[in-house]
Amino acid sequence: MAGVPVYRGSFGPAQAERLLWRGGFGPRPGEAGRLAGRGLGQAVLSLTRPPVERLTGPAPTDDKHFPIAPYDASGHDHLWWLDRMVRTNRPLVERMTLVWHDWFATSNQGVGSQRLMLDQNALLRRHALGSFRDLVHDITSDPAMLQWLNGNKNTKSSPNENYGRELMELFALGADRGAYTEVDVREQARALTGWRSQRVKGVGPTNFRYEPKLHDDGTKTIFGKSGNYGWQDSARLVVEHPLHASFFVGKLWSYFIPTPPPPATRHALEKMYQHSYAVRPVLEAILQHPALYTGPRMVKPPAVFAAGMLRALGRSIQTTQWFRLAPASGQRLFYPPNVAGWDETRWLDTATFRGRWFLAALLVNGAASSSAAGPEKLVDRALVYWNHSAVTKATRSVLVKFARTGLARGHSAAEIETALRQLVATSPDLQTA
């Protein structure tokens, strides 16, 4: 990692916990301490070079304890993926799949097929830590993406610019950077012609195929270079563009660290990336950078928050409420709001916080201790419930005051402890990491 600083401070359970939240879905009980014992370098490698996939714990079910049907039942696709986030032993792979889902945002609202969306999800997972060049190549011919951005309606007699424009603006180069022109958009559309599909009643879009007779085989000029380009060239040219590496590094960095990379770090990461267009080495450098451990906290995306609560408690998906409440919290998986993905500035606002409150409520009810205790002890028990979560002195003071007031008003210890569990889960300390 020549030229990229590495964090040299203390790497204890608090730092390991932040790593597990940024590079996954938070720790299971005892996991942060065990990871801290490995040291920063080995901790990061355990995430970026994971073992063979294994899902542990009960498989997901609906409210009637029947197995979920992710290809067919509405919302069960969300349950299926949330369950993977909870039970996986490869959290960074799953987290990067979520990153790519936002980066190449595709919504079932326009695709109309949970099967195609799940197939795309598998594609993103295969490329989670691999070659970004290969990912762009494969997503360009992915049926869900073809359906979403009208690539299957792009023919030489009627070129469609949707995918070609988004490929440059959102996926590989960025807007307003001088990376491409309207001429490049039109020429990319020509290069991408030839894909078709059909819609079958009761099945949806199917039979995606490339038909050479519908492809414009004339010479195209893209980024000032001319050739008889096809769709594979379209994908290759954006990755080889001089402004691609800076776009890639800045965007990938933003998913893990909320402040921009220092210029020297950015330059070193760009050089590292350009060597082979591999994601893993860049990500390993980001996850070891001092800014991840000394910089400001980040708001957890709603799906990450939900999965993290379940992991902390060792619980499984046993109700469809996990997808029914997802839109209110701001993130229903497989339904990003548009091709630009989710707006992370809305992860916590007056609307989405209410959704998070109800997500937490799914897990706080139950066997709170009925034994008498003072305010401090009740707060301690609520923190232990959430995997011994640490909170600031200011948060703890508010929680103790709440417990003291509740006791004075005659509420039982069990009632107060249940309420404290929900307040801890929705405190600023647990909404961020």
Residue 221 β-bridge partners: 226
Question: Is 343 a domain residue?
Answer: yes
pLDDT digits (tens, 9 = 90+) for 145-183: 999 999 999 999 999 999 999 999 999 999 999 999 999
Phi-psi region of 150 (alpha: psi -120 to 50; beta: other; left: phi over 0): left
Is the same domain home to 211 and 316?
no
Write down the pLDDT at residue 369: 74
Instruction: Average the pLDDT over 9-32 and give the result.
Output: 97
Nearest to 331 by CA among 310, 307, 363, 315: 307
Last residue in a domain, options 259, 294, 329: 294
Residues 313 and 388 in one domain: yes
Average pLDDT of the chain?
96
Average pLDDT over residues 3-23: 97
> What is the domain count for the chain?
3
Nearest residue to 172 (alpha-carbon basis) of 108, 62, 248: 248
220 belongs to a structural domain: yes
**Dihedral angle, C-alpha 422, 425, 426, 429, nearest 10 °:** 140
Does 87 map to a domain?
no
Neighbours of 274 (CB within 10 A): 15
Mean pLDDT of 287-293: 98
270 and 335 inside one domain: no
Pure H helices in 141-216? 143-148, 162-166, 182-191
Q: Is 366 helix (H, G, I), strand (E, B) or coil?
A: coil
Q: Kindly report, residue by residue over 58-84, the tens digit of the pLDDT.
A: 999 999 999 999 999 999 999 999 999
* pLDDT surpasses 80 at 383: yes
Q: How far is CA 38 from the centre of its chain?
A: 26
CA distance 270 to 417: 50
Q: Write the CA distances from 341 to 103, 331, 350, integer angstroms.
A: 7, 10, 20
Between β-strands 195-200 and 204-210, what pairing exists: parallel, antiparallel or unpaired? antiparallel
pLDDT score at 372: 84
Q: How confident is the model at residue 200 (pLDDT cuts 50, 70, 90)?
A: confident
Residue whose tokens read 């199917």: 206
CA 199 to CA 218: how far, in whole Å? 29
> Does 315 fall in a domain?
yes
**For position 32, what pLDDT does the model report?**
97
Residues 283 and 310 in one domain: no
pLDDT tens across 228-275, in order? 999 999 999 999 999 999 999 999 999 999 999 999 999 999 999 999
Residue 102 belongs to some domain of the structure: no
170-206 burial code (b ≥16 CB/10 A, e <16): bbbbbeeeebbeeebbbbbbbbbbbbbbeeeeeeebe
Residue 226 belongs to a domain: yes
Structural contact between residues 180 and 168, judged by C-beta atoms closer than 8 angstroms:
yes
Q: Are 390 and 328 found together in one domain?
A: yes
Q: Is 331 found in the same domain as 288?
A: no
DSSP E strand stretches across 58-141: none
Torsion sign over Cα 74, 78, 81, 87:
negative
Question: Quick one: 207 and 245 in the same domain?
Answer: yes
The domain in which residue 39 lies consists of 7-49
Does the structure show a pLDDT above 80 at 127?
yes
Is pTM beyond 0.75 here? yes
What angle in degrees, to the nearest 10, is found between the helix axes of 375-385 and 413-425? Answer: 50
Is the pLDDT confidence value at 365 over 80?
no
For 79-105, give one letter per residue: b (16+ CB within 10 A) or e.
bbbbbbbbbbebbbbbbbbbbbbbbbb
223 and 369: one domain? no
Asked if 155 and 210 sit in the same domain, the reply is: yes
Question: Is residue 412 in some structural domain?
Answer: yes
User: Domain for residue 85, yes or no?
Assistant: no
pLDDT reported for residue 151: 96
CA–CA separation, 27 and 22 (whole Å): 11
pLDDT band at 117 (very low <50, low <70, confident <90, very high): very high
Tokens of 104: 């190449």
- CA-to-CA dists, residue 319 to 76, 92, 172, 291, 322, angstroms: 10, 25, 38, 38, 6
- In this predicted structure, what is the pLDDT of residue 178? 97
Tokens representing 33 are 């301490």
What is the predicted pLDDT for the residue at 153?
A: 95
Same domain, 306 and 328: yes
Maximum C-alpha span of the chain: 81
- Final residue of a structural domain among 239, 270, 294: 294
What mean pLDDT comes out for the span 110-120?
97
- pLDDT band of 387, cuts 50, 70, 90: confident
As given in the structure block, the two tokens for residue 161 are 């610019």
Nearest to 300 by CA among 259, 324, 260, 330: 330
Residues 280 and 326 in one domain: no
DSSP 304: H
**2 confidence band (pLDDT: 50, 70, 90):** confident
Check whether 370 has a pLDDT greater than 80.
Answer: no
Domain end (from 260, 294, 328): 294
Amino acid 223: pLDDT: 98
pLDDT in tens, 128-145: 999 999 999 999 999 999
DSSP string, 213-237: GGS--S-EEETTEEE---HHHHHHH
User: Are both 290 and 307 inside the same structural domain?
Assistant: no
pLDDT of residue 106: 98
Q: Which residues pair with 227 in a beta bridge?
A: 220
